[in-house]
Amino acid sequence: MQKSTLHTLVLLFLFSLSYAQKPKKPASSEIYESIQKLNFLGSVLYIAAHPDDENTRLISYMSNHVKARTAYLSLTRGDGGQNLIGPEIRELLGVMRTQELLAARRVDGGEQIFTRANDFGYSKHPDETLAIWDKETVLSDVVLAIRKFKPDIIINRFDHRSPGTTHGHHTSSAMLSFEAFDLANDASAYSNQLKHNSLWQPKRLFFNTSWWFYGSQKKFEKADKSNMVNFDIGVYYPLKGLSNNEVAALASSQHLCQGFGRLSQRGTQKEYIEFLKGEPLTDNKDFFDGIDTSWNRVKGGKAIGDILYKVENEFNFVNPSEHIPQLTKAYQLLQKIEDDHWKAQKTKELKAIIEMCAGLYLEASAETNWATQGESINLNIEALNRSNTPITLVSFNNSSDLNVSKNILLENNIKFSFKDAIKIDNTTSPTTPYWLNEKGSLGMYKADEKFIGLPETPRLFNIDFNLLVNNVPITFTKPIIQRFSKPDKGELYRPFEIIPEASARITEKVIIFDNDQQHNITVVVKAGHDNLEGYAEIHHPKNWNVYPEKQKVSIKNKGEEQSLVFTIIPPKNQSEGYISPIVHVNDKAYTKELIEINYDHIPFQTVLLPSETKVVRLDIKKKGENIAYIQGAGDMVPESLEQIGYNVRILKPEDINTETLSRFDAVVVGIRAYNTVEALKFKQQILFDFVAQGGNMIVQYNTRHRLKVPELAPYELELSRDRVTDENAEVRILEPEHTLLNYPNKITQNDFKGWTQERGLYFPNKWSKEFTPILSMNDKNEKPKKGSLLVAKHGKGHYIYTGLSFFREFPEGVSGAYRLFANMLSIGKEDLKQKTKLSN
């Protein structure tokens, strides 16, 4: 029993821990709301597929109005989406979106859980989704989440009965939830989980329906709602000064990389949930009908409830510390109950309330935010009691080498500070997202069993503050952080992390060789500690050459970098492969790159990934020299075009004028620029005039939603949601003699091999006769789509619209994508005299 209890406590701690860094400093109203939640013994699990799928209105309502413990199970981390605010895609985008979800939960009061499923991109049917994901593994993760969280109610965001009508990931999330609802209480299902978890049967399963699933408001009004519960989700919270919808808007606005910043709403609004499975409701207004959510739910809970309900009813907003004697009495009684699940959860909540009521401030701050194996780190320990409650700091310790006895009475508002140090063990693993430690598959990440479901890698370095609060021993655990300040930002917090003693990166992730001439590359080595000595070399394909073979690494100070220049010599014929820097220090070899993700709306992140660069010896020709690039939602296309010898200049909207454009051979519009750059609506005619005068204009994909311009093209062009998600889908050439496919590179079926994630998205489905469709493609069992690449002659130049995913293919070094894009830039330039290359 003791072993099981300990494991439950550890898992609960890991599930709920959030590394926002900056400690919460709650007001009395927040303490009171925490007591209300403490006195509600019920839970809700909301299930969907991606970050930003969740209905923050409903999560906030359940957490803040109903007072239920509420969590969102997102099956993926959103790795396959786009990024509107930066260059991170794939794994790094998944790290960002994980943090945005955690930021949203800090606003709406929910918790966050994941499975190991990888967002591999858009899927049109759950059959495809579940085949790529490995259905059994993801289903086991959903069952595990239910067994750990033990929800009374599960709410699906999507409808399990509508395969093929929406994103395959969406429907799959509902289908897996529907199946897991019963499996969680089946001892024969995933029995290996029962070593540390018990069976659980949720009471009810709902579907969070709305008019959207019916196609229109009118159809929804006519729908049979006898099996639905509806309620006003626009309730107002006087203690917050916000309505539920305002809280929800703040939460969903954390998904900034997906462009989810939005206006808040106020006032009455109906929400609907449809009963699917479990015990039917007898009261259509009470989701927890028939479930005892009082302290009477647990054996021995009545005595605890008698104390805590009185605290809630008589709460002193002016002096919350008045209640600490009652709270510590309840804490002692809570440790005696037999229900491990509720003991662990309510102990965590009650400890936080005691800490808040006492105005306790406990902190362990390191002098730096990172260290390496074997290093000693100085700590500043702070303990402050801001109440008249008798509190003694008995000791503080960590799990390894620190154990300091103090026995100091923490008098009201007298700060105690101590200096100490910890040593990092030589076997300590570097800090990185746990799901990226090993290479997974297209549809699944790999993870250590003990981490499955967690939003983040648990912090290894914490300080336990062992206190006597009103003569009751209570331990408060705080992660070691770094607290510092910047003149332009004020007080800042960062997590304390372990990094390798050496890391290396090549500044270019893809290097294209358009001939057999050698190319210099820069390897940047970063030191994790002072006086780093070693050497670096580059692992490379056999038919490529690198010199020198190795170079000395010598870095004096921790955190500094050394740049080493190597020369890469490609083969004479077309070839591709990967090169990887290796740093040797003593008898160890380091092959990973340390990546930093730094945005104001999420905590600072460090990620360790294998350091590698794709090298491509490419048979490619091009015409034209100077390219203007108008940035949209963020992509690596400009850097990629520079790789094949183009001179690319970023053009801001205010710089778009006839004189400036005359210096360029072509203008390329970045992905979703017409969705994100308001000022372009004033520049369209200037761009069309540039085309008419002989320039080329290439517009990459946009969505029809929230277009900023009245006209995408000089001729009629209408966007749709058409897309081809199978990156290996057959590409049929419609116009084999068209210049676009023949000059200066002959485009063949081979150029469409090796594409990644998808062919393209948001193709036009209607266009005027001036446009010529070049390619046709489709996913399995669908009609051919001809809108992926359209070209129109306009005056002396050419306008090209493409939904092909060049923004995904270029960073992966896909040869055919480069060759085709070079043709797009070169069209009509057969007799072009090279312009003078623009200077920097």
Q: How far apart are the first and last CA of the chain?
A: 70
User: CA nearest 44: which of 28, 34, 55?
Assistant: 55
CA distance 724 to 717: 19
Assess if residue 833 is contained within a domain.
no
CATH number at residue 420: 2.60.40
Q: Are residues 754 and 786 in the same domain?
A: yes
Classify residue 413 by burial, with Cβ atoms within 10 Å: 0-12, 13-18, 19+. Answer: exposed
CA distance 117 to 442: 9
Assess if residue 312 is contained within a domain.
yes
User: CA nearest 273: which of 157, 170, 150?
Assistant: 157
Point out the domain boundary residue: 586, 617, 648: 617
Count of structural domains within the chain: 5
CA distance 104 to 455: 13
Q: Are strands 416-423 and 376-384 parallel, antiparallel or unpaired?
A: antiparallel
Name the DSSP class of 471: T
CATH number at residue 816: 3.40.50.880
Assess if residue 594 is contained within a domain.
yes
Q: Are residues 518 and 478 in the same domain?
A: no
Q: Are residues 273 and 383 in the same domain?
A: no
Residue with tokens 């009477």: 296
Q: Are residues 600 and 641 in the same domain?
A: no
Residue with tokens 């062992």: 466
% pLDDT > 90, the chain = 85
Assess if residue 838 is contained within a domain.
no
Cβ proximity of 70 and 59 under 8 Å = yes
Residue with tokens 């080329």: 696
Polymer length of the chain: 840
User: Residue 372 in 3-state DSSP?
Assistant: coil
CA distance 330 to 342: 14
User: CA nearest 237: which of 26, 33, 56?
Assistant: 33
CA distance 69 to 591: 43
Reading the block at residue 709, the tokens are: 């311009």
Residue with tokens 């923050």: 56
CA distance 433 to 95: 8
Point out the domain boundary residue: 585, 617, 649: 617
Assess if residue 752 is contained within a domain.
yes
- Return the number of other C-beta atoms located less than 10 Å from residue 251's C-beta: 24
Q: Are residues 394 and 428 in the same domain?
A: yes
Name the DSSP class of 52: T
Alpha carbon 437 to chain centroid, angstroms: 16
| Residues facing residue 396 across a β-bridge | 404, 465
The pTM (predicted TM-score) of the whole model is: 0.87
The continuous run of DSSP H or E covering 502 comes out as: strand 502-506
Phi and psi, residue 797, nearest 5° = -115, -165
Q: Are strands 550-555 and 532-539 parallel, antiparallel or unpaired?
A: antiparallel
Q: Please, what's the b/e burial string for 533-552 (b: 16 or more CB within 10 A of its CB; e: otherwise)?
A: ebbbbbebeeebebeeebee
Q: Are residues 701 and 769 in the same domain?
A: yes
Q: Where in 343-461 does DSSP place strands (E)? A: 361-366, 370-371, 376-384, 391-397, 403-409, 416-423
Q: Are residues 297 and 285 in the same domain?
A: no
How far is the CA of 484 from the CAs of 186, 366, 481, 528, 733, in angstroms? 51, 10, 10, 20, 59
- Return the number of other C-beta atoms located less than 10 Å from residue 248's C-beta: 29
Cβ proximity of 528 and 558 under 8 Å = yes
Classify residue 792 by burial, with Cβ atoms within 10 Å: 0-12, 13-18, 19+. Answer: buried
According to the model, what pLDDT value does residue 282 have?
87
User: Residue 679 in 3-state DSSP?
Assistant: helix
Put the strands of the sheet holding 789-794 in their side by side order: 647-650, 626-630, 666-669, 696-699, 797-802, 789-794, 771-773
Cβ proximity of 669 and 659 under 8 Å = no
How far is the CA of 566 from the CAs of 541, 563, 758, in angstroms? 15, 10, 34
Q: What totals of helices (H) and strands (E) does the chain contain, helices first? A: 18, 43
CA distance 725 to 742: 26
Cβ proximity of 60 and 33 under 8 Å = no
Classify residue 797 by burial, with Cβ atoms within 10 Å: 0-12, 13-18, 19+. Answer: buried
Assess if residue 138 is contained within a domain.
yes
Cβ proximity of 167 and 182 under 8 Å = no
Q: Does residue 706 come out as left (phi exceeding 0), alpha (psi in the -120 to 50 range) or beta?
A: left
Assess if residue 808 is contained within a domain.
yes
User: CA nearest 498: which of 378, 366, 605, 370?
Assistant: 370
CATH number at residue 528: 2.60.40.10
User: Residue 793 in 3-state DSSP?
Assistant: strand
Q: Are residues 36 and 46 in the same domain?
A: no
The continuous run of DSSP H or E covering 12 comes out as: helix 2-16
Assess if residue 279 is contained within a domain.
yes
Reading the block at residue 407, the tokens are: 């026995």
CA distance 405 to 389: 21
CA distance 90 to 118: 10
CA distance 28 to 450: 37
According to the model, what pLDDT value does residue 834 have?
52
Residues of the chain with pLDDT under 50: 1-20, 840
Under 8 Å CB-to-CB from 572, ≥6 apart: which residues?
A: 516, 617
How far is the CA of 771 from the CAs of 639, 690, 723, 786, 802, in angstroms? 29, 18, 19, 11, 12
Concatenated DSSP letters of 750-791: GGGTT--S-SEEEEEEEE-TTEEE-EEE--TTS--B--SEEE
CA distance 526 to 507: 13
Q: Please, what's the b/e burial string for 719-741 (b: 16 or more CB within 10 A of its CB; e: otherwise)?
A: beebbbbbbebebeeeeeebbbb
Q: Are residues 797 and 714 in the same domain?
A: yes
Q: What is the pLDDT of residues 751-794, one digit of tens each?
A: 999 999 899 999 999 999 999 999 999 999 899 999 999 999 99
Q: Are residues 336 and 284 in the same domain?
A: no
Point out the domain boundary residue: 289, 306, 323: 289
| Residues facing residue 477 across a β-bridge | 464
Q: Are residues 36 and 47 in the same domain?
A: no
Under 8 Å CB-to-CB from 459, ≥6 apart: which residues?
A: 17, 19, 431, 479, 480, 495, 496
Reading the block at residue 64, the tokens are: 């803040």
Under 8 Å CB-to-CB from 411, ≥6 apart: which residues?
A: 385
* Amino acid code (one letter) for 18: S
Q: Are residues 188 and 67 in the same domain?
A: yes
Reading the block at residue 66, the tokens are: 């109903």
Q: What is the pLDDT of residues 20-57, one digit of tens each?
A: 467 888 999 999 999 999 999 999 999 999 999 999 99
CATH number at residue 76: 3.40.50.10320
User: Residue 617 in 3-state DSSP?
Assistant: strand
- Domain that includes residue 422, residue range: 358-495
Sign of CA dihedral 222, 225, 228, 230: positive
